[in-house]
Homo-oligomer: A and B are copies of this chain.
């Protein structure tokens, strides 16, 4: 069972301040918990419902820490979600070191993406397209917030996310810097040569004025209808798809 105090502690990890203080974050939902369990992340606590345990006994028996079977009601007392009938893990924040972008691969650069769902979805997209590094401005929403972790759907364990000053990053980078803008080159005419940084801007304001001069290759997704813009996660996916599609 989860004691009231423990539930309160776990719930406190919904706040960035406490996550930072404890070096811990919470992973919820069956799929995400199973992914983190099979990753090299360090689990501290693992709570599951009896039905989830029954469905996933084989994997859960291999868990490196005791698996506590709790009621759905107990789980929800500790949960940051509206409902959780499966699993919750308290996980140590990964302590990977900062790595500069390598000149032989693509990486994403997020300039103040504020919506947790967007950040999580973008990490899942990066994972899908085999992009292993995402650089975020310090103002980008916190990676370990519940809604981000949930939208990541486990991709958090495979994509490295760094928070860093983007102007320094871009200034020191020698490859092409692509940036999604409304008046760039038609993305269908751009020949992506399997190396570069892709800068995506804030939901309301796009790429900040200070970074624009550092974008060497402005690109645009052509629209055909009335919408003024695309959601930033959607635009990221389309850029990644164009980057990865075979060149004809």
Contacts of A188 in B (CB 8 A): 245-246
Would B125 and A234 count as touching, CB distance under 8 A? yes
**A245 cross-chain contacts in B, Cβ below 8 A:** 188
**With contact pairs A221-B241, A238-B238, A241-B238 given, residues A230 and B117 touching in the complex (Cβ less than 8 Å):** no
Quick one: which of B128, B221, B222 contacts A227, CB cutoff 8 A?
Answer: B128
Give, as a whole number of angstroms, the nearest-CB distance from A213 to chain B. 28
Closest to A236 in B: B234
> Are A128 and B223 in contact, CB atoms less than 8 angstroms apart?
yes
Q: Is A237 an interface residue (CB 8 A)?
A: yes
Is B230 in contact with A124, judged by CB distance below 8 angstroms? yes
Contact present for A225 and B158 (CB under 8 Å) = yes
Chain A residues near B (Cβ < 8 Å): 117, 121, 124-132, 151, 153-155, 158, 188, 221-231, 233-234, 237-238, 241-242, 244-246, 248
Further contacts, 18 of them, CB under 8 A, given A153-B229, A154-B227: A121-B231, A124-B231, A127-B227, A128-B223, A128-B224, A129-B223, A129-B224, A130-B224, A153-B228, A154-B228, A155-B226, A158-B226, A188-B245, A188-B246, A221-B241, A234-B237, A237-B238, A241-B242
